[in-house]
Amino acid sequence: MNDGLPDILPTLREVPIYDGHSVGFDVTLPHIFTVKGKKIRHVMVVGAAGSGKTTLLAKFAKLSLEGKIDLMAQIQSVVYIPFMDFNSKEHFTFEQLLAEMYYPNHHKKKDEIFEHLNDNQEKVLFVFDGYDQSGLSIIETTCQSISVTTKASLSTVFCNLFKGHLFPKSYLLTSSREYAVLELPMVARP
């Protein structure tokens, strides 16, 4: 490939953690949204700094859009959100958050774009890069259910995305360092 991304199709090690016990098994990149033959909605790629998490997410998003990953062939929209861009204490609706990031100069089309994403959730892949860099504090109390039009803290908005209260039919691919994942409440973990 000549897209600036390394030609990688690695084998990953999936390590679910439950009550301090972990079990590992190998997963190839095209199958990261499948566990034991079942589709899953949210995958978190965990690794050390510089281990290639961002490159992996970019490559997966590109292959999904190109229809080269069978399970993700229906993906038509990839929304890439780098967590390091969030350090705001302000409250947003999810719609406002997307508008600020992706179409700040298209105020007339923002409703149309958001409606398209909302109506085609099963064709949307959200890529959240660097959760550990966000400074967000997702705890049980910030995980109250909200709608896409509810203004809330970024912690609450992202917790609702992770839990499936917002865009429940979409796919989420998140990267983080391990320490930040371990701080997430179980209700917000993939």
Total structural domains within the chain: 1
Q: How many Cβ atoms from other residues are within 10 Å of residue 168's Cβ?
A: 12
Higher-scoring residue by pLDDT: 89, 121: 121
Please report whether residue 85 resides in a domain.
Answer: yes
What integer pLDDT is reported at residue 168 of this predicted model?
94
C-alpha angle 73-95-143 in degrees, rounded to nearest 5: 90
Please report whether residue 91 resides in a domain.
Answer: yes
Please report whether residue 4 resides in a domain.
Answer: no
Task: Tell me which residue range forms the domain holding 84.
Answer: 11-188
pLDDT per residue over 110-129, tens digit each? 788 888 889 999 999 999 99
Q: Residue 50 contacts by C-beta under 8 Å, 6 or more apart in sequence?
A: none
Please report whether residue 5 resides in a domain.
Answer: no
Please report whether residue 69 resides in a domain.
Answer: yes
pLDDT per residue over 130-176, tens digit each? 888 887 777 766 678 999 889 998 888 888 998 899 999 999 999 99
Q: Which among 80, 38, 40, 84 has a CA at the least distance from the CA of 60?
A: 80
Q: What is the CATH number of the domain that holds 43?
A: 3.40.50.300
Given a contact cutoff of 8 angstroms between Cβ atoms, the answer to whether 136 and 130 are in contact is no
Please report whether residue 1 resides in a domain.
Answer: no
Please report whether residue 153 resides in a domain.
Answer: yes
pLDDT per residue over 6-49, tens digit each? 444 444 554 555 555 555 566 677 777 887 778 889 888 888 88
Q: Is residue 86 pLDDT above 90, yes or no? A: no
SS3 146: coil
Please report whether residue 2 resides in a domain.
Answer: no
